[in-house]
């Protein structure tokens, strides 16, 4: 599953390259795209009553990108436990890796209490398990 983000003019800075903060936003776009593709998009999350705040981001900048590059992002599942998951991101422009990153998420109900994803949202958990196995 590959997400494509086109670098916009307003995402560049006076160095002539994409400002490094924007990769964090591309990561979020990628998660949202992925969730929608697997049928677990925003509306489904709301029905289930789960939010998954970001607990950590880690981002290695390998090569600069700039407008009007198309960044392709491959999402993977690096870690998965009852209460948390870590997604991995590999971003490329053409055949060059430009950025690798990860983000850690917990799962909370609408009162802010941790929930076990496997119980609360099994269809999503199952897909994450498969993705984690593929990543190995």
Task: List the catalytic residues.
Answer: 13
- One of 1, 37, 46, 68 touching a copy of itself (CB under 8 A): 68
Shorter beta-carbon distance to a copy of itself: residue 8 or 133: 8
What are φ and ψ of residue 31, in 5° steps?
A: -60, -45
Q: Give the rounded distance of the alpha carbon of 122 from its chain centre.
A: 19
Least separation in angstroms between residue 32's CB and a copy of itself is 7
104 near 84, Cβ under 8 Å?
yes
Q: How many Å apart are CA 82 and CA 94, to the nearest integer?
A: 36
SS3 annotation, 110-131: CCCCECCHHHHCHHHHHHHHHH
54 contributes a contact to a copy of itself by CB under 8 A? yes
Pairing outcome for strands 84-93 and 54-61: unpaired
Q: For residue 47, give both structure tokens.
A: 């029905």
Stretches 19-27, 70-78, 85-93, 120-128: which one binds a copy of itself (CB under 8 A)? 19-27
> What is the per-residue binding string for a copy of itself in 69-108, x denoting contact by CB under 8 A?
----------------------------------------
- One of 1, 2, 4, 13 touching a copy of itself (CB under 8 A): 13
Residues in contact with a copy of itself by the rule CB under 8 A: 8-10, 12-17, 19-22, 24-25, 28-29, 32, 36, 41-42, 51, 53-61, 64, 66-68
């Amino acid at each position: 599953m590959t997400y494509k983000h086109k670098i916009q003019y307003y995402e560049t800075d006076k160095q002539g390259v994409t400002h490094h903060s924007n990769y964090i936003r591309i990561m979020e776009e990628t998660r949202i795209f992925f969730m929608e593709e697997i049928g677990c998009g925003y509306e489904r999350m709301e029905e289930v009553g789960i939010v998954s705040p970001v607990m950590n981001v880690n981002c290695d900048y390998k090569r600069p990108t700039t407008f009007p590059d198309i960044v392709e992002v491959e999402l993977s599942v690096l870690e998965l436990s009852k209460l948390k998951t870590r997604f991995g991101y590999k971003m490329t422009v053409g055949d060059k890796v430009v950025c690798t990153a990860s983000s850690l998420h917990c799962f909370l109900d609408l009162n802010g209490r941790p929930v076990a994803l496997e119980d609360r949202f099994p269809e999503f958990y199952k897909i994450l398990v498969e993705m984690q196995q593929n990543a190995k």
